[in-house]
Amino acid sequence: MMGSGLEMAIALVFGYLCGTIPFGLLLTKAAGLGDIRTIGSGNIGATNVLRTGNKKVAALTLLLDALKGTVPAALMGWLYGPEAGVLGGLAAFFGHLFPMWLGFKGGKGVATSIGVLFGLFWPLGVTFLAVWIAMALMFRISSLSALTASLLSPFAAWALGRGDLILPAVIMGAAIFVTHRANIARLLRGEEPRIGRSKTA
């Protein structure tokens, strides 16, 4: 059943505020690693945090960026119904991409999208993660792994019998392709760095 207008508004605001928490920036500063926006790609996500050389901070960033998608998707869905869960999850995803605290310049959305999928329907999140890991093991290119998993996630939603999640998967996947447009250009030129190597290596 569709939730009320107030419930949808709560899901939207709560999700967005969760998504805007810049864990990568906060954790790197707390660890004395400086401002992550001045390192590597300038991105606040876990992949760029890894370029500081601190794997623990990068792993924690990855986990928290995922959880800020999982929590609103799962909590709003539990409180107000599946539509509110989808809205809360998408709001968190776009909050990560466009955080008002950082001039609407956020991360690329991969970890948060995985978290949203886990919050909405955990088998879909597992499928996305499995594709990402398989591609990363084969090619050792983070962006290629993310793009492939994003491309396949709507088909996975259909295959898993969750047609209601095809559109959210398409929306997040399309946004991830947009945020990775520079990565796509480097992939086409054969210049995209591999996992474990610096951007300038």
Q: DSSP of 31-73, one letter per residue? A: TT---GGGSTT---SHHHHHTTT-HHHHHHHHHHHHHHHHHHH
Percent of the chain with pLDDT over 70: 96
Identify the pLDDT of residue 52: 87
- Asked whether residue 119 carries a pLDDT value surpassing 60, the answer given is yes
Q: Using an 8 Å Cβ cutoff, are 124 and 168 in contact?
A: no
Least confident span in 18-27, 36-45, 59-68, 123-132: 36-45
Identify the pLDDT of residue 3: 65
- Asked whether residue 179 carries a pLDDT value surpassing 70, the answer given is yes
Identify the pLDDT of residue 94: 98
pLDDT, tens digit, 9 for 90 and up, residues 29-45? 999 998 999 888 788 99
- Asked whether residue 74 carries a pLDDT value surpassing 70, the answer given is yes
Span 102-114, average pLDDT: 96
Confidence band, pLDDT 50/70/90 cuts, at residue 78? very high
Identify the pLDDT of residue 200: 43
Least confident span in 50-59, 112-121, 123-132: 50-59
Confidence band, pLDDT 50/70/90 cuts, at residue 2? low
The structure tokens listed for 200 are: 């300038």
The structure tokens listed for 94 are: 């776009």
Q: What is the mean pLDDT of the chain?
A: 93
| Residue 114 Cα to chain centre, angstroms | 6
Alpha-carbon distance values, 20 to 16, 55, 111, 126, 170 (Å): 6, 23, 13, 24, 21
Q: Using an 8 Å Cβ cutoff, are 95 and 115 in contact?
A: no
- What dihedral angle (degrees, nearest 10) is formed by the CA atoms of 166, 113, 94, 168? 10
Span 97-124, average pLDDT: 97
pTM for this predicted structure: 0.93
Identify the pLDDT of residue 194: 87
Identify the pLDDT of residue 201: 38
